Chains A and B, each alone.
Chain A
């Protein structure tokens, strides 16, 4: 007897199991199963939820349960809802099935992003505890308070200098590296800081800026001060020197973001047709001329995208400031002021108004993204 034959299901004749299976075929059985399966799924998922919410098991166990529950649970949820919908009459199931696919994602995005926009908007017109309407009071703070004006100035510095140097340096490195044999190596080195957290980068640069003070026999251990003293200058507490300390923080962003600009721009530069460049060179254009009149116009779209991304990034900058200075000594930024208002001063009204200000600042980008998307998908 072959294996295939042995594995064939046994005919359901006189056995009790057979009776049970045939009972599942009846309408009543089907309805009961349709209720039981989702209910069982729900109980299993709920138990996992309760287990993880209590969070008192050893870490390793939690992580494993988490992975199994999270991944398996999500898969199970889709499987069961889909199975349920398929049991419905054909017409109804055809209408409902798309919602099985997009429903969970849309619900989560609504809960975590779309509805909070409205909730923050409402909260921004209410007082610190959210108990009373205060009209435009919070916005008056957000747009006129000296603290906020300082953050606007600093964010503007981040935006202008951070973006200009990240994009400029990225473009320079991408262009130069394109002409060398060791291109991959150069690009990897510049790109590497992208893998480092802002907190980690904060430690790295804090160490460069560290200051020991002046005195006999003191050797500076911070690189910047060591270089300054080596050149005959006096060491400085760089992070306590407004307004220059802002620039020392912006350097960190440039260090982190240049790699991003470089990688994206590099692939755009590679897309410039070489015939175009050859033609320009034959016409007598030197490298600089060819770069500005051929390459730059050709990659204009990419240049704009990269710039926009880094502009948004600079508007939302938080971790670097939080870790390096805490926003003291004239280095406060909008996102840090938001953090202080919501979690240090627990003023939900002011915090929400500041969040709305951030949203307003990125609104032009949102509108542009939506418009571009709609244009690219006319026949959606």
Chain B
């Protein structure tokens, strides 16, 4: 009896793990796919799927046969002892020994390719060229599906990467600082209208920022802020402040009252209490919001598109442009996407714990 229970438990553990592993594989395949693709030469990408970098059997060309002019291609004819029509040869005819005859190009070439299935090893053909091309801004050239060489301007993703940093770092620090002051004010200082103003902030948490884009853009145009870093920091500060204030308020208001009172009795001013007591105590909350805001700014597309545009483009805009303009250049798109993902992935994986904490506290935001 106990034995069967144990067995059933073991069995169910196996199935639980099995289901989870399958889901995890499904979740990872898309990322693995573009990661592998980003290292393949452009010609290979156009010719075959990324899974072909793994060892597999593939038809490898052995020789080419050119038919003499007197052979009539309109009826059935013979290659290597096999008789078939042109259409059949075009679709591929297999010989008894496993070799394959396929016609090369159209009828006029009078050429057939004999190939045989062979094992192709792992990652025979990987390169860093795509990354070089997409990061640099200079002229690049690559081969397309037909093997022709294409030359054009690079995408300067390196510059976009710097721009993203220029947007993200101040855009993360400034709202945190302002929100920390405000959160302290709302939590510990008394002033008329405190309740109402804070309720409005709670209401603003889920206001779609679309509502602000047109009016703010109008302000920016008249102030000369459109397309500048300053403009986008202010915008991100404005859009990030409700959540930042709310999160930090929740945290700061739980600091024990006695701690602050004893500091007041010692004669400390509000300002010193804030800088010497509240800020150091709030580091965990500040850190979770910082990661939150950092990821949100780095991955933001809409706000950057509206307020920065193609001048000072960020990585998201650069990648989106690449998709719009060169929708079939997978070697560039995949490497660009990876360049855009690498920093948030590192930050995220390294500081996941803080991020989760922020997520829990802020799950009211849309």
Contacts and interface: CB of A to CB of B under 8 A. Distances in A.
Interface of A: 49, 52-53, 55, 59-60, 62-63, 66-67, 70-71, 74-75, 78-79, 82, 86, 95, 97-102, 104-106, 108-109, 111-117, 119-120, 123, 169, 173, 176-177, 179-180, 182, 186, 188-200, 202-208, 210, 216-217, 219-223, 226, 255, 260, 263-264, 267, 287, 305-306, 309, 312-313, 315-316, 318-319, 322-323, 326, 335, 338-339, 342-343, 348, 351-352, 354-356, 358-359, 362, 365-366, 369-370, 373-374, 380
Contacts of A264: 359-360, 363
B210 A358 contact: yes
Contacts of A191: 352
Given A101-B270, A182-B17, A202-B323, A55 B345 contact: no
B210 A223 contact: no
Given A102-B182, A343-B306, 8 more contacts: A59-B162, A116-B212, A192-B31, A196-B344, A207-B334, A355-B211, A365-B366, A370-B202
Given A82-B271, A112-B235, A207-B330, A49 B348 contact: no
Contact of B49 (A204, A216, A226, A313): A226
Describe A's contact surface by its main secondary structure: helix
A221 B49 contact: yes
A310 to B, nearest CB: 9
Interface stretch (B60-68, B117-125, B255-263, B294-302): B294-302
B205 interface: yes
B109 interface: no
B166 interface: yes
The 4 A-B residue pairs whose C-beta atoms are closest, nearest first, are A112-B238, A312-B366, A101-B185, A197-B299
The number of chain B residues touching the other chain, given as a range, is 35 or more
Interface in B328-354: 330, 333-334, 336-337, 340-341, 344-345, 347-349, 352
A348 B230 contact: no
A221 B216 contact: no
B269 A86 contact: yes
Contact of B347 (A189, A195, A200): A195
B181 A97 contact: no
A103 B334 CA distance: 46
Contacts of A63: 162, 165-166, 169
B268 interface: no
B197 interface: yes
Nearest to B362: A309
Interface stretch (B77-85, B186-194, B282-290): B186-194
A192 B152 CA distance: 34
A112 B212 contact: yes
A189 B274 CA distance: 39
Contact of B181 (A60, A104, A116, A316): A104
Interface in B231-268: 233-235, 237-239, 241-242, 245
B317 to A, nearest CB: 8
A358 B20 contact: no
A95 to B, nearest CB: 8
B114 interface: no
B178 interface: yes
